[in-house]
Structure 1
């Protein structure tokens, strides 16, 4: 992709394989999901997962040749192109001749979507930074909430489910119904009292409330808001304090295991008890804190403070 402009069919197949890798699936069909591929291809700071959209990424990889030509880098092939094709003009002013090579025609076509000022804004120390150029082509903007979602010390699986919960893209029964998928009931599969949606599942469900309250009692005062909108605002704050980051670890674990319990109730008709879910959350957070001791001395000292803060950590 960094040398040739691949056929569209090949690029679509690459994107398809990436979707299968992300969501899982059988054969050529990925599992049901609600998050669009365009969002997945945004950087994590913009609300995506950092995948690259095949056709766009292929063109931007080839833009490094446009940058080399326009900045007149000290390369033999650049000098040859400027001497034979451009003859002192900029590539954007070049008039394509019918007898030009296939590769040169493709480069000229790619250059039409670029400008010298755009390439300069995506460069650093004389080099074109392709990831920066890719972001300039995206319509999305950075989202402060994603710093908390992708907290570096949270468990990866937990962060992935938290990311979908924040975006309200988990396959809850209300969203499945909106996709015209027939369901025996729209009620929450855990409490079977009210219709299931993200706000109910993680904040209003009797089961979830009891789980979260048990976690709050264990964290000795560390907590998060008890409704979805305030929760999202709370996550937007910049949390550098170690205790706050541990709270994010506990939050991600709580969301993950509540969703895990919901799926067991939905697919296996066997829900876990509150004590079992709370125990899983505590074990996950404890293992994460104890694992931080192995990272560095500074991290170990803060983890030791946390173990003193939570005497029942073990």
Structure 2
């Protein structure tokens, strides 16, 4: 998004917009050089060098001096979409990025989906000479799959079938708190009892549910939340 915002300045120069700033750039930097071929000097202002770097990234989106994004005029939103590209939607997107899941739990789930959690097995791969056993059970190598689905501590949790959104909120909430307990155990050497940890997961989910729009929620869904003891009246 930052590049897209800077891209607006790049586009002003490309289209030779009649503004004081563009005229100043023409006189002090470009000095008759075509914007497409311009390269800043090493001692140029760092902000100007940043604008020029973004210009290089956006060059494929221009035909002559005109932004050529599907025949549309330049816009920050359009530039952002162009920079982002059309990557296929990953299958786990709806499980993590939905309105039921607590944001900090979403982030942990996102890291897990990308295999980016710094569990002991990955730290060893980085070249660190450490004990790679699981902090919570000390019975196996600590990897993400073990920590959340195979560890004796994690298996003590029970659950029921839920609608996709709430189920995802519970799953990622559980993963978040397991990860939190793992880090606390690593630093402090103590583990919270699983019952208390489960209570915190449910409280987090209830807090998220409290922010939902119940006025437009189907009655059947509200009844389902009541049955699961997850429906929270808002004063």
Given the two structures, how large is their TM-score scaled by the length of structure 2? 0.71
Residue 110 of structure 2 corresponds to residue 163 of structure 1? yes
Equivalent position to 2:142, from 196, 200, 206:
196
Q: How does 1:80-159 map to 2 (within 5 A)?
A: 92=36, 111=55, 113=57, 114-115=59-60, 116-117=62-63, 119-121=67-69, 124=72, 126-129=73-76, 131-137=77-83, 141-144=87-90, 145-159=92-106
Q: How does 1:18-37 map to 2 (within 5 A)?
A: none
Shift of 1:181: 2.2
Shift of 1:253: 0.6
Instruction: Give the number of equivalent residue pairs.
Output: 217
Once the two structures are superposed, residues 56-108 of structure 1 have per-residue CA deviations (whole angstroms, 9 ceiling, x without a partner) of x2xx54442443455576x4669979xx9999xx854x899xxxxx89x9788
Q: What is the aligned partner in structure 2 of residue 250 from structure 1?
A: 170
Given the two structures, how large is their TM-score scaled by the length of structure 1? 0.55
Q: CA RMSD in A?
A: 4.0
Q: What is the aligned partner in structure 1 of residue 216 from structure 2?
A: 298
Alpha-carbon distance between aligned partners in 1 of 2:220 and 2:22, rounded to the nearest angstrom = 57
Contact 2:209–2:231 (8 Å) recurs in 1: no
Shift of 1:120: 2.2
| Structure 1 gaps, min length 5 | 1-49, 97-101, 223-242
Residue 11 of structure 2 corresponds to residue 64 of structure 1? no
Contact 1:70–1:91 (8 Å) recurs in 2: yes
Contact 2:101–2:172 (8 Å) recurs in 1: yes
Contact 1:119–1:128 (8 Å) recurs in 2: no
Q: How does 1:71-82 map to 2 (within 5 A)?
A: 71=15, 75=18
Alpha-carbon distance between aligned partners in 2 of 1:121 and 1:161, rounded to the nearest angstrom = 35
Shift of 1:153: 2.8
Alpha-carbon distance between aligned partners in 1 of 2:192 and 2:22, rounded to the nearest angstrom = 69
